[in-house]
Amino acid sequence: MNPSKDKPVGLTERVGYGLGDLASNLYFQMFNMFLLYYYTDVFGLEAWVVGNIFLFSRIWDAVNDPVMGIVADRTRTRWGNFRPYLLWLAVPYGAAGYLMFYSPDLSMTGKIVYAAVTYTIVGMIYTGINIPYSGLMAVISKSSEERAKISSIRFIFAFLGGFIIAQFLPPLTKSLGGGNEILGFRYTMALFAVLATIMFLITFFTTKERIKPSSEIQPKGQLKKDFKILVREKAWWILVVAGILNLTAVAIKSGSNIFYFKYVAVSDDFKAEVASFGGGGWIAMILGVMTTGILIKYFERRKLIIWLTIIGGIGMALPYWMDPEMRISMTGVQSGEYTMFGLKMSSIELVPNNPRLIYIINIIGSFAAGPPVAIVWSMYTDVAAYIDWKHKRRITGLVVAAAVFSQKFGMAFGGWFAAVLLSAFGFIANAEQTADSKWAILLLFSLIPGILIIAQGASMLLYPLSDAQVKNIEIDLAARDSEKLS
C-alpha cells in the first residue's frame, strides 16, 4: 500500500486547519512585532525589565512544551488525542490574550507583576493549544507529500496573521483608542481575541485525525524511554537548532522594526511605515509559501531550505550598510481613509510612492523565506514517522513539542537580547536617541538577525533524512499497518 495514494485531504479541512495557525499568529506576531514597544513606550516599563520578563516567562513556557507533548500523546477521547484541546482551550486562549493588554492603572511594581503574570499565563495557554494543533498535522494524513501541502496552506494563513498584525494594528489602535494608545491596544486585542477563539473552534469542527494512537496502556518507564529515543535522533536535534536560530532572529528583527522607523529612519508617521514595511514583507512570504507545492516537486526539501534561507538572511542583513533614505522611483498603490466595522481607518499604503530601497530588499528576502517555514514543519512530522518506523513508537506530540520549544526558547533569548542591548546602549523610550542607541537599533534591525538566519540555513547541511528515505519509510509503515489489520 502506497500512502501517497491515500485519499487527499479536502479543501475545507485544509482551510479549517490553516485557520488554527491564523488564530495562533494573531497572538504570536502581535508579540513579536509590538510587545517590546507596547511594554516600553505604552505601558511604561524599562527595557531591561521587559527583557527579564521575556526571558524568564518564555523559558518557563518552553519547559512546559515537552510536558504538553507527553500529555497530548497520552490523551484518549472520542475526538482523538490532539483535537480536543482546540475545543477545551479556545475560550481561555481568547480571554487571557485580552487580559494581557487590559493595562490597569497600577504602581510601577504592580505593572511589572501584572505584565509578568499575564504574559506567563498567555504563554502556558498558547502551549496548551498550539502543541496539540501542531501535532494534529501529523495525524491528518499518512503521506509526507500531503502533509507538506497541508503545511503550505497552514503557513499561508500563518503569514496572513502576520500581515494582518503589521498592516491593521497601527490604524486599529489609533481608531479604537481615539489617540489613547493604552485603550487602542486594549480594544484591538479584544477584537483579535474574539477572532482567534472562533477560528480555533472552526479548526476543531472541520478537521479529522486519521492516524489513530495506540490504545494500549503505557508500561512503567516508557516515558523515560521515549525521551531517550528522541534525544538520540540527529534529525530532531538539527531541526531544534535551526528553529532556535530562526526564532531568535525573528524575535529580534520583528521587535525592532517599530524602533527603527521611530528612532533611526525617523518617519513622521512611523506606525504607517511599519505597516507598509511589514505588510509588504508578509505578502511576499505568503506568495513564497504558495510556491512550496511546486518547488518540492522539482527540488529536494533540504536543499531548498538551505539556499532559500541563506538568501533570506542576506536580504535581512543588507540594510545595515544602507542609508534608510535611499529610495527608488515607483508609483504607489494606496487607499485613502475608509471605514471598517464602523471604525474610521487611516490610509494604508501597501507600496508607498518612492519607497525606501530597504522595502524592496525586504520583499525579496521575505519571498525567499516563505517556503522554508512550511517545509520545516513537514519535516517534524517526517521525524515522527521515522521514529515510529525505527523504534515502533509513535511520539508525535513529543516530537512536535520540540518545534514549539525551539520557538519559545528562540523568542525568549531574542526578546531578552533585544531589550538588554537597547538598555545597554542607553535607549530611553519616547526621547531623542544617542548615536550608540541608534546603532544598537540598527544592529537589531539588520545585521544580527541576518547572521542568525544564514547560520540556520547552514545548519540544515547536517540534516540526515532525504526525501527518498522518507517515502520509503512511509511505504514500510503503510505495509506494517496493513499487516496489523489482516
3 state SS of 130: helix
Is residue 2, in this structure, part of any structural domain at all? no
Question: Do the strands 349-351 and 333-334 form a parallel or antiparallel pair, or are they unpaired?
Answer: antiparallel
Question: What does the block give as the cell for 55?
Answer: 526571558
Backbone phi and psi for residue 229, each to the nearest 5 degrees, phi listed first: -60, -45
Is residue 359, in this structure, part of any structural domain at all? yes
Distance CA 318, CA 448 (A): 11
Predicted confidence at residue 345, as pLDDT, reads 56
Distance CA 450, CA 193 (A): 32
Which residues neighbour 459 within 8 Å (Cβ) at sequence distance 6 or greater? 238, 241, 242, 245
Is residue 86, in this structure, part of any structural domain at all? yes
| pTM for this entry | 0.77
Domain that holds residue 405: 10-209+221-331+342-479
**Cell 509559501 sits on residue:** 289
Is residue 336, in this structure, part of any structural domain at all? no
Predicted confidence at residue 69, as pLDDT, reads 80
To the nearest 10 degrees (0 to 180), the angle between helices 301-317 and 447-459 is 170
105, with CB counted inside 10 A (0-12, 13-18, 19+), is: exposed
Domain count, the chain: 1
Predicted confidence at residue 343, as pLDDT, reads 57
What is the DSSP code (8-state) at residue 141? Answer: -
Gyration radius from the chain CA atoms: 22
Distance CA 291, CA 284 (A): 11
Is residue 402, in this structure, part of any structural domain at all? yes
Q: How far apart are the first and last CA of the chain?
A: 13
Distance CA 230, CA 219 (A): 18
Distance CA 458, CA 95 (A): 40
Is residue 192, in this structure, part of any structural domain at all? yes
List the pLDDT tens digit at each of the 486 positions of the chain. 455 455 677 889 999 999 999 999 999 888 888 898 999 999 999 989 998 998 888 788 777 877 888 888 888 888 888 999 999 999 999 999 999 999 898 999 999 999 999 999 998 999 899 889 988 887 887 777 787 778 788 888 988 998 888 888 888 888 888 889 999 999 999 999 999 999 999 999 999 888 776 555 456 567 788 888 888 899 999 998 998 999 899 889 988 998 999 999 887 778 778 877 888 888 888 899 889 888 988 899 999 999 999 999 999 999 999 998 888 776 655 555 556 555 555 555 555 667 788 988 999 999 999 889 878 878 888 898 899 899 888 787 778 776 677 777 888 888 889 999 999 999 998 888 999 999 999 999 999 999 999 999 999 999 999 988 988 988 888 888 777 665
Predicted confidence at residue 221, as pLDDT, reads 66
Is residue 62, in this structure, part of any structural domain at all? yes
Is residue 431, in this structure, part of any structural domain at all? yes
CA distances 402 to 70, 144, 154, 326, Å, are 11, 19, 19, 42
- Give strand pairing partners of 77: 80
User: Can you give the CATH number for the domain in which 183 is found?
Assistant: 1.20.1250.20
